[in-house]
Amino acid sequence: MKNNHFGKGFRAQLPLQMMVIPGIIFMIVFCYIPIYGIVIAFKSYSVTDTIASAPWVGLENFKIAFEDKFFWESVVNTLAISFLKLLIGFTAPIILSILIFELKNGWFKKVVQTISYLPHFLSWIVVGGMLLSWLSTSGILNDILVGVGILDQPRNFMIEAKSYWFIAVLSDVWKEVGWGTIIYLATMSGIDPTYYEAAKIDGASKLQQIFHITLPLMKFIISLMFILAVGGILGSNLDQTLVLINPLNSSHAEVINSYVYKVGLAQGDFSYATAVGLAVSIVSLILVVITNHFTKKMNDNKSVF
Q: What average pLDDT does the segment 1-14 reach? A: 69
Give the model confidence (pLDDT) of 79-101 as tens digits: 999 999 999 999 999 999 999 99
Express as a percent the part of the chain with pLDDT over 70: 95
Q: Is 247 strand, coil or helix?
A: coil
Q: Which of 46-60, 199-213, 287-301 has the lowest mean pLDDT?
A: 287-301
Q: Is 56 strand, coil or helix?
A: strand
> What span, in angstroms and rounded, lies between the C-alpha atoms of 287 and 293?
10
For residue 43, give the DSSP letter. B
Express as a percent the part of the chain with pLDDT over 90: 46
Residues 62-74, buried b or exposed e (16+ Cβ, 10 A)? bebbeeeeebebb
Q: Are 227 and 293 in contact (CB under 8 A)?
A: no
> What span, in angstroms and rounded, lies between the C-alpha atoms of 189 and 217?
11
Please say if the pLDDT value at position 300 is more than 70: no
Whether the pTM exceeds 0.85: the reply is no
| 3 — pLDDT class (breaks 50, 70, 90) | low
pLDDT at 126: 94
Nearest to 252 by CA among 159, 174, 178: 159
Q: What average pLDDT does the segment 36-55 reach? A: 87
pLDDT at 183: 93
> What span, in angstroms and rounded, lies between the C-alpha atoms of 39 and 28?
18
Nearest to 115 by CA among 198, 40, 177, 208: 177
What value does the mean pLDDT of the chain take?
88
> What span, in angstroms and rounded, lies between the C-alpha atoms of 291 and 161?
32
- Burial classification of residue 146, based on how many CB atoms lie within 10 Å of its CB (0-12 exposed, 13-18 middle, 19 or more buried): middle
Domains of the chain: residue spans and CATH: 1-42 (no CATH), 59-304 (1.10.3720.10)
pLDDT at 11: 79
> What span, in angstroms and rounded, lies between the C-alpha atoms of 261 and 271?
12
Give the model confidence (pLDDT) of 261-290 as tens digits: 888 877 888 898 889 888 888 888 888 888
Q: Are 36 and 51 in contact (CB under 8 A)?
A: yes
Angle between helices 161-189 and 219-231 (to 10 degrees): 150
Please say if the pLDDT value at position 12 is more than 90: no
Q: HSE (CB half, 13 Å, CA atoms) of 290?
A: 9
Give the model confidence (pLDDT) of 230-247 as tens digits: 888 887 788 999 999 999
pLDDT at 255: 92
Please say if the pLDDT value at position 301 is more than 70: no
